[in-house]
Amino acid sequence: MKFSVSDVAIDPVAARKSVADNSCGALVVFEGWIRDHNEGQAVERLEYEVYRPLAEKEGLVIINEAVEKYGISNAMCIHREGLLELSDIAVIVCVSSAHRGEAFSACRYIIDEVKSRLPIWKKEHYVSGISEWVNCEHCAAAGHSHEH
Amino acid sequence: MNVKVKYFALFREQAGVESELIDWSGGTAAELFQQMAREHAALMPQAAALVAVNDEMTGWETPLSEGDEILFFPPVAGG
């Protein structure tokens, strides 16, 4: 699957191999990790909720858009769901292409679109014991106020 | 008409339910959201939220039909 949602740990080596191609001279990988802080709060763990039927369908559309737009050879993305601990991989994007320029651009395009278009939500569990749903950048851009 | 509404993430917590069947006079997805916001006072504003009907992303001005399943998505935050 070029785009998938996983409820188990992502294997980055297997992900890289899935885009291996003798015609390619470049591989660009983006890994999104669970970090220990956000907006001044100490984060203990993080929870992803995914509406799979639409996320998987729209995720594949994004991959195909990247192939069409940048002319890359191969691309894939896996996004986690469920409860994740610090340093876990939340999302991985692998792009291979003949040259590095289009691979960097396509990788950036895929992760940006995945973050803003797919029905995926994350709830941060803070060291303080409080939990909050995190709103996306588009929400902030729209001027919507929230608690962060 | 009868439609099914499903809430996700923050919306589910604010509405206090995962889904509900609504007997409704009809209209657009935006109008249905406004009605739901009147029934669930905690629901955040529609701004920056997304809507899907029968597992297809759509616009808020989409007219709804009998039996539709409407998905209300709060602002997404993948990655």
The predicted pLDDT at position A148 comes to 31
In CATH, the architecture of B2-73 is Roll (3.10)
Under DSSP, the state recorded for A12 is H
Q: Hunting for tokens 């006079």 — which residue is that?
A: B25
First-to-final CA distance of chain A: 36
pLDDT digits (tens, 9 = 90+) for A50-83: 999 999 999 999 999 999 999 999 999 999 999 9
In 10 A of CB B48, how many CB atoms?
A: 20
The predicted pLDDT at position A140 comes to 45
Q: Tell me which of A2-16, A84-98, B4-18, B46-60 is least confident.
A: B46-60
Whole-model pTM?
0.90
The predicted pLDDT at position A74 comes to 98
CA distance A13 to A19: 11
Q: Dihedral of the CA atoms B67, B22, B52, A33 (nearest 10)?
A: -130
Q: Which sequence spans correspond to the domains of chain A?
A: 3-135
Write the CATH number of the domain with boundaries A3-135. Answer: 3.90.1170.40
Task: Report the pLDDT averaged over residues B1-14.
Answer: 96
Q: Which sequence spans correspond to the domains of chain B?
A: 2-73
Q: Compare CB distances from A119 to B8, B13, B45 and report the shortest one's residue.
A: B8
Task: Report the pLDDT averaged over residues A123-148.
Answer: 69
Structure tokens at A86: 């610090």
Contact A119 B50 (CB under 8 A): yes
The predicted pLDDT at position A139 comes to 52
User: What residues of A are in contact with residue B77 (Cβ under 8 Å)?
Assistant: 115, 120-122, 133-136
